[in-house]
Amino acid sequence: QVQLVESGGGSVQAGDSLRLSCAASGYTLSNYGMGWFRQTPGKEREFVASISWSGGTTDYADSVKGRFTISRDNTKHTVYLQMTSLKPEDTAVYYCGTHGTGRLGFKYWGQGTQVTVSS
């Protein structure tokens, strides 16, 4: 079955960087778009970034544009989110999703990884 496992979260200071990874299994990663979303307590999950199946098209939320970079390595069945210049407002649980297009329609999700940014 489809399985997504996120890793790389942690506690950092404002201005630091982190790289999240999402390892996929149970399907052919290269056939599908992938995305990163985040959620804080009491709020809905929000879009962060997405990448097309080929990696040729990427999309970012305005709040992270210029600071975060999404990439994928289909040979390693992994999608990455490089986060730089982190801010306290980036604190959230980050989830990767698959089988979506653009910002919508993601059908499968990982368990999430916590990112905490302190000022």
How sure is the predictor about 105, in pLDDT bands with cuts at 50, 70 and 90? confident
| Tens digit of each residue's pLDDT (9 = 90 or more) over 27-85 | 888 889 999 999 999 999 999 999 998 888 999 999 999 999 999 999 999 999 999 99
CA distances from 40 to 37, 93, 97, 109, 116 (A): 11, 6, 17, 16, 11
pLDDT at 100 over 90: no
Query: Which residue type occupies 97?
Result: G
**Res 12: pLDDT:** 98
| Tens digit of each residue's pLDDT (9 = 90 or more) over 1-20 | 999 999 999 999 999 999 99
In 45-91, which ranges are E strands? 46-51, 58-60, 68-73, 78-83
Q: Are 83 and 20 in contact, with CB atoms under 8 Å apart?
A: yes
**Res 39: pLDDT:** 98
- Euclidean distance between the first and the last CA atom of the chain, given in angstroms as a whole number: 40
